[in-house]
Structure 1
Amino acid sequence: MKRVLIIHGPNLNLTGSRETDIYGEVSFEEINNIIKREASKLDLAVKIQQSNSEGEIIDFIHSAKNNFDAIIINPGAYSHYSYAIMDAIGAIDIPVIEVHLSNIQKREDFRHVSVTATRCLGQISGFGPYSYVLALNAVKLLEDSLKE
């Protein structure tokens, strides 16, 4: 069974009550439940972490190196300027998929560029909580393609 680390970045713990016109009304707890249900269907083991601290997010990424097969990360606003998180992603040798609840291309200009995504396998944005579901399915497809 593939092990996937889910990393939620800053302010995602407030999802469902924070700027619902942008991030939706689905609570953080329910997003995590959606992730767990989908992972179970796909026979993936997930560990979910959240932090508002850049350093702690980097520590999560470093710890994944020998313990997980993939990372799904929503770096939040750190996406747009955290070269430290970008470097941490580049320092590990496992696939990383970046997700965003909102479509960052439809937001403020500064959000159109994600420095962290430059080190990720891919990016999924704009599908609300289902951005995570799509990312989990991508991890599963990667696993299945390696078996063939």
Structure 2
Amino acid sequence: MKFLVLHGPNLNLFGRREPHIYGRTTLAEIDARIDKLARELDITVATIQSNHEGALVDFLHQHIDEAQGALVNPAGLTQHGVPLHDAIKAMPFPTVEVHMSNIAAREAWRAHSIISPAVRGTVQGLGPQSYLAALRALVEIVRDDKQ
């Protein structure tokens, strides 16, 4: 089974950007943890990070017929990413929204996600563990749906 992991704008700066909010774990370290968990779960993952919404949309389109699910951290597209929202809704597989921080506990404008209505669920506020918890849940959802 193949799963996608999409990291949105500025997430390439994890470990350096606002460490008091996001911690010091780098994106490379997060991806390594995801890869390790994927091996344990006997799945494969394809990962992208882009500062451009179109690249994330293209990545979803590219894998529409081969992926079983996706994790997406929309980052700065959370509140305004209409094309990303629409692409997620067009996918035949479940998607889980991921955030390292608890967006509901931050600035008021961050609390609303335009992405949330398009996804199966959201995992947030657990730092890098948000990705791992979301991947575990998503794999279980897909496996349960296949039965």
- Category of TM-score, reference length = shorter chain: over 0.9
Whether the aligned pair in 1 keeps the contact of 2:69 and 2:142 (CA below 8 Å) is no
Partners of 1:92 and 1:42 lie apart in 2 by: 23
Quote the offset at 1:15 in angstroms.
0.2
Quote the offset at 1:64 in angstroms.
2.2
Equivalences, count: 147
Q: 2:42 matched to 1:37?
A: no
Aligned twin of 1:69: 68
Q: 2:69 matched to 1:80?
A: no
- The runs of 5 or more residues in structure 1 that have no matched partner are none
Whether the aligned pair in 1 keeps the contact of 2:70 and 2:93 (CA below 8 Å) is yes
Partners of 1:98 and 1:72 lie apart in 2 by: 6
Quote the offset at 1:101 in angstroms.
0.5
TM-score calculated relative to the size of structure 2: 0.96
Q: Could you report, residue by residue, the CA deviation over 1:16-36 in whole angstroms, capped at 9, with x for unpaired residues? A: 011000111011111111111
Quote the offset at 1:139 in angstroms.
1.7
Identity %: 38
TM-score calculated relative to the size of structure 1: 0.95
After the TM superposition, which segments of 4 or more aligned residues of structure 1 sit over 6 Å from their partners? none
- The runs of 5 or more residues in structure 2 that have no matched partner are none
Matches within 5 A, 1:43-58: 43-58=42-57
Aligned twin of 2:113: 114
Q: Could you report, residue by residue, the CA deviation over 1:98-132 in whole angstroms, capped at 9, with x for unpaired residues? A: 10000001111111011011100111000111111
SS at match of 2:16: coil
SS at match of 1:80: coil
Matches within 5 A, 1:4-43: 4-43=3-42
User: Considering only aligned residues, what root-mean-square deviation do their CA atoms show, in Å?
Assistant: 1.0
